[in-house]
Each structure stands twice: as structure tokens, then as C-alpha cells.
Chain A
Amino acid sequence: MPISAIEIDNLSVALGGHKILSGLDLRLFPGQKTTLVGRSGCGKSTLLRCLLGFVAPKAGTIHIFGRELTSGSVWQLRTRMAYVPQEPELAPGQVRELLERPFTFHNNRHLRDNLSRVPALMERLHLHEKLLEQQVAALSGGEKQRITLLSALLLDREILLLDEASSALDRTAKLAVIDLLKERAALTVLSVSHDQEWIGFSDDLVDLTRPQEKGSA
């Protein structure tokens, strides 16, 4: 049996005294594309934040490629994941600076050459290269989402976590994103979406409103 990219066992999360997730089991194999669905507040975004270590679980375990996610390991495990949040809030400055900044971090310096892929990826995402000189504050919601996705793809991570990453995209841009992700067979994608075309591209669908069974994904 191959090692799971993500393995979640009996995960329970409470925020501000409210139970958000209870006894969740989920397993994603490398390359698997899974979409999380469920009613608002059922814990879809919280689960992604849990995987990144931003929310500490009340009970249960998370393993990323066989390594348990703990306060000690989370810093290393984050370098195996990339994240596109819902309505990304980006640091001020030019788009070019925004894309370059992650490569100034010690963990990503060896990937700096990946910046040469920016023009090709921009074209694939229907973004004009002139946008690089633009201020982040002047970007539209859809442009922000695509730039954040582009930044995530440049990091060459094994797992991509997308939180409603197509919510501000028109259909053409959304299909371009889907095509780009389909091409990356080895990339494990865990996304949150209510969009039918997005759901259609996924290998699996997990409804967090319903009780989960181990290996359901």
C-alpha cells in the first residue's frame, strides 16, 4: 500500500467552544484530487487550516507523507504544501515582488530558478505579463486568486490546498486553472469548492456534513 499524502485519523476541532469537526477520518493518496463540500460552517476551511498547523486539533492525528503533524514538525511539513486561501489578502507592493518574496525564505532559496516559469504560467492563467509591474492593491479579486495560485505552483510542493480558489474566476479562467492542475498528475490537491465544474474535475468528493469513514476519499 503506498504511503498516504494526507492521513487524518479521528480528527476533532473546536473553535471558541464550538465543535467544528468531530471524529473525521480521511486519506488522500499522492496525486489524488479531492474536493471538500458541505454546508457553510461545517469545517471545510478549518480542515485546510488544520493541515497547515494554523488550528490545533482537540483530538486526533494528521500525517503528511507518513510524518505526524506536530508543533515541531509543522515547520518542515509546510514546505511540502502550498495554500491558496479564500479571498487572499496579499502584502502590499508590486506583483513581481510578491512572487519573488517566498524565494527569499531559507526553505525556498534553492527553488529560485522556478521564477523563470512565471511568464509561461501567467499565459496559461490568462494573466498579462504587464501585471508584474502593477501594485497588488490594484488587482481584481480574480487576478489576486490567480496570482496566489501561480505563487503556490512556483513552489513545486507535493500537496496543494485550495480554499474556494475559483470563486472569483470567470469560466475561462477557471477552466484554465483546472487544466493546469489536471496536467500535474503527481500533485495531490485538496480543495474546497461548491462549483460543479470544479467538483467534476476531482477524483473524489468528501461531504464534511456527513459522518466520514476511514478511507472514504
Chain B
Amino acid sequence: MTIIDISSWRLAASYLLLAVPLGIMLWLRLPMLSQALIAVVRMTLQLLFIGFYLQFVFDLNSLWVTGAWGLVMIVVADVSIARGCGLRMRRLGGGLFLALLAGTVVPLLFFVLLVVQGPAALDAQYVIPICGMILGNCLRADIVGIRTFYQSLWNNEKAYLLTLAQGASLKEALLPFIREAWQTALAPTVASIATIGLVSLPGMMTGVILGGGNPMTAIKYQIAIMIAIFAGTAMTVILAIWLTAFNNFTPRGTLDRDLFAAGRP
């Protein structure tokens, strides 16, 4: 069984479906028409570029090039988390980069070396898509985790300071906020694990099936990737909070407001 390729004309035909959302926007007179069109154009150009680039990287199949591409993906994720949370890159960047690196690389290596195995396990064809899936989930979880953590500290500053006044160490005072942030960030991953296969057919499974794999192979990949994502997101969120906290509290334990790009969350 081989995958049916889509010709450029038939791909262009898929854009006809855009008439539905764009038509609704016009009918409701929503001011997001240009935003939506720009998003579609960006998506097309980005994916075309990635398609050509991945073809080149897959053909090259060099571990160094694959690793460099992974690092670029992590840096881009790092910048978008800081921007997405309204926090200053210079106050967040280093710790967040390490958190993303650990949250992506550890489960990735586990996945390719222990689960996939074999001489081809480190091929770009395996490493890059799996890295992208884990990193994408780490990015989403870090945005929620970091935002919840610093926003909650800001909103409950009086309660936090009272805890410090009661003799708590920085770690003891931050623990309830870390718990809340971690739980909030991991809740979507846990929910998607619980409903997978019932509510939606996940991306990786769909990819394996479309690529000609049988459903049982697809399911095995999917189970392993879900566990890798769960482990990666759990690791990256806790590390992102801890490693950025080093930089963003004064030696006396108060939150350094310079962290917020707009002066507040």
C-alpha cells in the first residue's frame, strides 16, 4: 500500500474550503478577515519551505544537520513562549531554553533509541518529526505553565509575601504556585491521553496509516509518542518554572517586576 500523492491543482482546490470560514467572517462582519488570510498564507509558505527543507535534510541524513535543525526549533519555541507570556526574553530565555532542550531531547532519545531502535532509528526521517511533536507539546505546556505561575504570583502577591513572613524558604513559598501551574499546564495532555482514539485520531497514528502502515503499527507508535509527550511536558514545565525562578526573584524573595515586558502580566 502506498500513499496517494496530491497534485498541485488538487491541493489548490482544497483552498476552496476557505470560502466557508471567510464567508462566515464576512457575514458576521468580524474584523479578523485579513488576519485569517495572512495566517493561511503564512501557513502555506512555512509548510512549503519546511517541505523543501525536510526533503533536503532527509536526503542528507546527517546527525549534525538534524541536531542543528532541532536546536533552531527549540530557539524559535523559546522566543515564542516568552512573547506569548508577555515576559522579557533576557529574563526567561536561558532557563527556558534548557527546559525545552531537556523536555524534548530526553524523551526523544528514549523514543528513538529504546522504542524504535535499529540502525535507522537516528535517521532524520524519524528524529525530526518526533522531535517536532514533542517540542510542539512542550511549547504549549510551557506557555500555560509559565503564564499561570507568574500571573498567579502577581495576583496573589500578598498571600505569597505573608508566607515568606511566616518563615518559609523561597522553595516552600513557591510550592503552591508551582503545583497550580504544573497541574494547569499538564491538564490538556492528561485529558488528551484519556480520550485519545475515542474523540480524535491523533496525528502520528494518522501519519503512519496514511504512509501505508497497518493500524496496529500506528497504535504502537502512538502509545509510545503519547508517553514521550507526557514525560517531556512534565519535565519541561517543572524545569521551566525552576530555572526561570532563579533569575526572577530578588535575593530577598520578592518577584522581580522587570520580568514583565509591559510592567505587569
Show the binding face of A for B, using Cβ within 8 Å.
Answer: 49, 52-54, 56, 71-72, 74-75, 78-79, 81-83, 85, 88-91, 101-102, 104-108, 148, 151, 155
Contact = CB atoms under 8 A, between A and B. Distances in A.
Given A107-B168, A107-B169, 18 more contacts: A54-B164, A56-B250, A71-B250, A71-B252, A72-B251, A74-B253, A75-B253, A78-B164, A78-B165, A82-B165, A82-B166, A88-B162, A89-B156, A89-B158, A91-B163, A102-B163, A105-B169, A107-B167
The 9 closest A-B pairs by CB, nearest first: A71-B251, A83-B165, A107-B167, A89-B158, A53-B252, A102-B166, A79-B167, A105-B168, A89-B159
Interface in B158-209: 158-159, 161-169, 172, 176
Given A89-B156, A89-B159, A91-B159, A108 B252 contact: no
Nearest to A55: B254
Contacts of A74: 252-253
A90 B162 contact: yes
A85 B158 contact: yes
A56 B168 contact: no
Contacts of B169: 75, 105-107
Contact of B158 (A72, A78, A88, A102): A88
Contacts, number: 70
Q: Is the interface on chain B under 10, 10 to 19, 20 to 34, or 35 or more residues?
A: 10 to 19
Interface of B: 156, 158-159, 161-169, 172, 176, 250-254
Nearest to B164: A78
A129 B164 CA distance: 27
Nearest to A49: B161
B265 to A, nearest CB: 17
14 contacts: A71-B250, A75-B169, A75-B253, A83-B166, A85-B158, A88-B162, A91-B159, A91-B163, A101-B166, A104-B172, A106-B169, A106-B172, A151-B166, A155-B166
Task: Identify the interface centre among A79, A101, A105, A151: most chain B CB within 10 Å of its CB.
Answer: A105
B51 to A, nearest CB: 50
A49 B159 CA distance: 14
B166 A105 contact: yes
Contacts of A88: 158, 162
B159 A81 contact: no
A162 B174 CA distance: 24
Task: Identify the interface centre among B161, B167, B252: most chain A CB within 10 Å of its CB.
Answer: B167
A53 B251 CA distance: 10
Contacts of A106: 169, 172
A72 B251 CA distance: 7
Given A71-B251, A71-B252, A54 B172 contact: no
